[in-house]
Amino acid sequence: MNDDLCRLPASTLRDYIAARKLSPVELMKAVLSRAEKLQPVLNCFITLVPEEAMKAAGDAENAVMQGKPLALMHGIPYSAKDLVNTAGVRTTFGSRLYEHNVPGEDAVATARMRQAGAILFGKTTTPEFGHKALTDAPLFGRTRNAWSAERSSGGSSGGAAVAVAAGIGPIAIATDGGGSTRIPAAANGMVGLKQNLGTIPHSQAVDAFGNYTYVTPLTRTVMDTALMMQAMAGSHPSDPWSIGVEPQNYLAAAQADGDLKGRKILYSLTFGNKAVAKDVCAAFEQALARLRELGADLVELAEAVPDMEAVWKVINHTTWRARFDDMIRRDGERMSPSLVRQVAMAMDWTGADYQRAMFQRAEIFRLVQGWFEGVDFLVMPTLSRTALPIDQDLFEPINIDGVEVGELRRNWFPYTMAFNITGHPALTLCCGYDSESLPIGLQFVGRFRDDASVLRAAALYEASEDWLSRWPDL
């Protein structure tokens, strides 16, 4: 029964709790039991808080039994990536330097989840300060993919994706600075949304105006993503991009009603990439066929795609240098060598180089905006291949169909970084499995400030297939 509970989506669990068919205490016990059982195998948590979670579940159950008004996510367990501040709960950023750090206040996103009645039960693994698409750090070790112990979880929200994929809690807060939600979501067959810039306030962004990072939902279903967005979205004075942005009705948008007739989709298999795995190509073609069956008019992107990674790297690495250079000078020997090496890459870049990259960011935004003048969605794979080997190094080349194709970042996820730069909403969900039964991701990108339409398109595709009936063999 415990495992059955852990396979239900949050949208169903909330209905059961409200109808008194399910006790929040029973649910939390099931989640914590599964976390305890699978943590030694998957290593997807840095911190679990069972006592606090059970107390909150007891309070939630009392409120139900007393007939009190229930909030949107009353009694629903969730985890949060260990980059996101949680008041009174250890938040390490995956770093030995913050091993005992306990924030005094929540990030806006976690505060809103708390206000919506959701209950935090653990903090999920992240590479140090979320610096790479592989989830390992000196503080906690390595996180394994939910589908194969021989594969990486992806990153940097690897722990969040694995926890949801393994049924340890239905939903998770993640973050995305270059694909860090969508990469592990795709590698583990989950739904990962990088919403529009400003939809969910990012109160921890150190450069609020030049921000390209996002606090995000990571779930198993599109409806659960909508549920989290409904809780977390809305204007907040800490984030200038959020001010004046009214939340949409995400729950209504995520209903799989109707079809895609009259909608035009621009698609690209490569998006400027050199190599894509055969299994990814086949799954992508099958997904395009399904979108045609749903009524969409599909047009292939013929325009050359600029080198987004080069622009993203200058912006990202100089930001890291400003944040971490002093820290590295003091304590670099205690930090992840891959983070130290990337900060060193920025040493030769000047303020003018950074500003030129920001000029290019504006050009890329205008290019993508131009595409959306004639189409409703842009669709592409999320990753060029399925999950990488567990011992993959960030700086070593990756292998696609037996061929060495080049370094990881540029060749595995060229599809994701562009939309951190431009701010457009981008969502990944499962579109099949490869010959080794590893999940393959499909990415929907939508018009600026139109998260709701992305949810609708993704929900219609999700309902047209049966990919979610599969669970990893743990």
* 3-state SS class at 443: strand
- Residue-by-residue DSSP string for 37-65: HHHHHH--EEEE-HHHHHHHHHHHHHHHH
- Identify the active-site residue in 11, 95, 157, 180: 180
Pairing of strands 426-433, 191-194: antiparallel
Q: Is the peptide bond before 235 cis (omega within 30 degrees of 0)?
A: no
- Identify the active-site residue in 81, 123, 194, 313: 81
Confirm whether 33 is a catalytic residue: no
Residue from 82, 72, 123 nearest 232 by CA: 72
Confirm whether 156 is a catalytic residue: yes
* 3-state SS class at 405: strand
Give CA angle at 143 (139, 147), nearest 5°: 175
Confirm whether 453 is a catalytic residue: no
Q: Which two tokens stand for residue 73?
A: 């996510």
Decide: 89 and 50 in contact? Cβ < 8 Å: no
Rounded Cα–Cα distance for residues 292 and 299 (Å): 11
Q: How far lies 318's CA from each of 203, 212, 323, 344, 367, in Å?
A: 21, 13, 9, 9, 24
- Identify the active-site residue in 95, 152, 156, 384: 156
Decide: 178 and 172 in contact? Cβ < 8 Å: no
* 3-state SS class at 254: coil
Decide: 22 and 13 in contact? Cβ < 8 Å: yes
Question: Which residues are tagged catalytic?
Answer: 81, 156, 180
